[in-house]
Structure formats: C-alpha cells, structure tokens
C-alpha cells in the first residue's frame, strides 16, 4: 500500500536541487535519525499518538518512527525530498503508515489541533520568519501537545560562513542560515509553557560539496507545551 502524499504543482527549486544531488545529500545529510530530538519523546508515547515532523526532508527521522510502529505525518517544501521519503518507506514496507504533505512550514493546510506531538530539526534556521513556524505548530497541536525543536545557536561555527545578511543571518551556498540567542527563544516561545531548554554540541565530519572540513555545531533543543486555551 502506498503512503498518503500531497504534492504541489510548484516545486521548491532550491531545496529540490539539494535532494536531487546525491553527492551533497550523502555528505550533508545523515542517513540516521536525530537521536537527541527523538529520544526526548519516543519512550513516552503510545502507538496511537498523532505525530508530525515539520520539515521532514528525505525522511530519516520518520523512518525511525515507522520502524518503532508509529503512524506519522511529515511536511516539507521540497517535492523531491518527499519523493525520497516515499522511496525509503516503501523499501521497508511501511509506507502505509506514512502521510506526507508538501507545504511551507510557515503556513500549511492541515487542520488545527490535529496532533499530539510535533518536532523539527534545523527548520527555524532556514525560513524567513521563524516565529510563523512556531505559531503554525501551536495551531496544529492539541491543547497540551508538545513541540520538540532543534535549531542553531549563535555559538555555532557556521555563523562565520558565507555572506552576512544582517543580524545573526548568513547566505551560505544560496541558502538562508539563521542563528538564535536566548533572547530569541524568549520571544519565539512566549505563548508556550517551556518545559526544557538545553544546548547540544556535536562534531560533524566533512560534507563533500557542502562543507569540506570537520566542524562543530552548537544547537538549542527546546521542549515546549501548548498551553490550555
């Protein structure tokens, strides 16, 4: 059985070009899940928990959840990324538990209060208006639902790369990179109950065609709950 998928007629050419390039995707995107996000919530869920990944890319996190027995939803702006996700899910015979929607994370067409858990990794870094993504996730979650999100801090080494665009933003390989300090978090999550804020530092190997040297990343990881309305 095939997954449920909605694709837009207009593709996002920039991100499609990334996922169409196996040299870049094999180096810049890992083929294993983001454990420092998933490990924060997978042990507390039941198999009927409604889960959505915001900016699911080529599906590595969703595949991990499918293998654990969850039915999951993913949205991404790139049609190519979603096509890769379908291919991966079909390869393990679990596409029937997968729903994919091509959508802008800043404004998608999914129904309000549809999900118990939402998560996102390195999505706020690459959108024009990160606050709109956080508001959209708030809309999608049921009351008491939780948002687990990881994004770059101003201590990340990538803040020195590419072309400066303004305050805490860079143009790197034609993509927007934004970086956040604690004051930004206070604004982004002002309407949430913040459960936890932590920092994660990881060492990354070279990414051929993207970033050629070993490097360090410094991320915020936030757990927040939608407060009762």
Q: Copy the structure tokens of residue 221.
A: 């990881």
Q: pLDDT truncated to tens, each residue of the chain (229 aa)?
A: 344 444 333 335 566 566 666 655 554 455 556 777 888 888 889 999 999 999 998 898 999 999 999 999 999 999 888 998 999 899 999 999 999 999 999 999 899 999 999 999 999 999 989 999 999 999 999 999 999 999 999 999 999 999 999 889 999 888 889 999 999 999 999 999 999 999 999 888 877 777 888 889 999 999 999 986 5
| Residue 60 CB partners (closer than 8 Å, separation 6+) | 29, 30, 31, 32, 33, 34, 88
pLDDT at 8: 38
Side-chain-side CA neighbours of residue 141 (13 Å): 25
Quote the pTM value. Answer: 0.89
pLDDT at 44: 82
pLDDT at 2: 44
**d(C-alpha 10, C-alpha 83), whole Å:** 14
- In the block, tokens 């024009």 appear at 128
**d(C-alpha 130, C-alpha 123), whole Å:** 8
pLDDT at 191: 96
pLDDT at 209: 75
Cβ atoms of 85 and 98 closer than 8 Å? yes
pLDDT at 10: 37
∠ CA 210-63-139, rounded to 5°: 90
pLDDT at 9: 36
CATH topology of domain 4-226: Rossmann fold (3.40.50)
């Amino acid at each position: 059985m095939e997954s449920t998928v909605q694709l837009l007629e207009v593709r996002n050419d920039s991100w499609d070009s990334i996922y169409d390039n196996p040299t870049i995707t094999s180096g810049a995107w890992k083929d294993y899940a983001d454990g420092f996000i998933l490990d924060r919530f997978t042990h507390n869920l039941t198999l009927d928990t409604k889960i959505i990944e915001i900016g699911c890319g080529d599906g590595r996190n969703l595949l991990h959840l499918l293998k654990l027995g969850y039915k999951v939803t993913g949205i991404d702006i790139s049609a190519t990324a979603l096509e890769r996700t379908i291919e991966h899910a079909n390869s393990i015979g679990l596409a029937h538990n997968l729903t994919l929607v091509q959508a802008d994370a800043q404004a998608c067409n999914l129904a309000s209060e549809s999900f118990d858990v939402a998560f996102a990794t390195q999505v706020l870094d690459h959108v024009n208006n990160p606050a709109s993504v956080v508001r959209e996730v708030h809309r999608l979650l049921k009351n008491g639902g939780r948002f687990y999100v990881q994004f770059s801090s101003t201590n990340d080494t990538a803040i020195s790369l590419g072309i400066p665009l303004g305050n805490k933003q860079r143009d790197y390989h034609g993509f927007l990179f934004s970086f956040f300090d604690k004051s930004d978090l206070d604004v982004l999550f002002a309407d949430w109950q913040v459960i936890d804020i932590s920092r994660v530092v990881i060492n990354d190997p070279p990414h051929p065609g993207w970033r050629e040297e070993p490097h360090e990343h410094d991320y915020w990881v936030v757990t927040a709950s939608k407060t009762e309305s």
